[in-house]
Amino acid sequence: MALRRSTPPYRLLALVAALLLGGCGGALPPENRLELTITAAGYSPARLEAQLGAQVVITFQNRDTVAHNVTIELPSGRRAVSAEPRVDAVLNFPANAAGTFRFFCAVPGHTEEGEIVISR
């Protein structure tokens, strides 16, 4: 009589987790977590870099005493997030086109700007 080896429970859990995380067969894109701070002096850093194909997650930290936003013009459209004074906000989007894209604060009268470089 042969010994029967059953699948250990942790292996089943790992399989379920892999199926849940994997969705419909595709692996999740890597995340590029970036930080962008704004003060009265403007954005810091004024130049962000991300990898093509990644999910970009920008934590926008407003360290000024007035509200600001960050607005990015991408080929897929405009992405923006606003933050009240002393508040952090998160902006995320897929980096699905390479290039250098301008970002700016769209609050009327504000002139802060910077750029994000998306490359391979």
Question: Which positions touch Cu ion (CB under 5 A)?
Answer: 68, 105, 107, 110, 112
Q: Which amino acid is at 77?
A: G
For Cu ion, give the closer residue by CB, 55 or 110.
110
For Cu ion, give the closer residue by CB, 48 or 112.
112
- φ/ψ of 106, rounded to 5, equals -95, 10
For Cu ion, give the closer residue by CB, 36 or 105.
105
What's the closest the beta carbon of residue 89 comes to Cu ion, in angstroms? 13
Instruction: Specify burial of residue 44 (Cβ count, 10 A radius: 0-12, 13-18, 19+).
Output: middle
Q: What's the CA gap between 87 and 1, in Å, rounded? A: 67
Answer yes or no: are the C-beta atoms of 69 and 106 closer than 8 Å.
yes
SS3 assignment, position 63: coil
What's the closest the beta carbon of residue 104 comes to Cu ion, in angstroms? 8
What's the closest the beta carbon of residue 30 comes to Cu ion, in angstroms? 30
Q: What is the CA radius of gyration of the chain?
A: 21
For Cu ion, give the closer residue by CB, 30 or 45.
45
What's the closest the beta carbon of residue 60 comes to Cu ion, in angstroms? 11
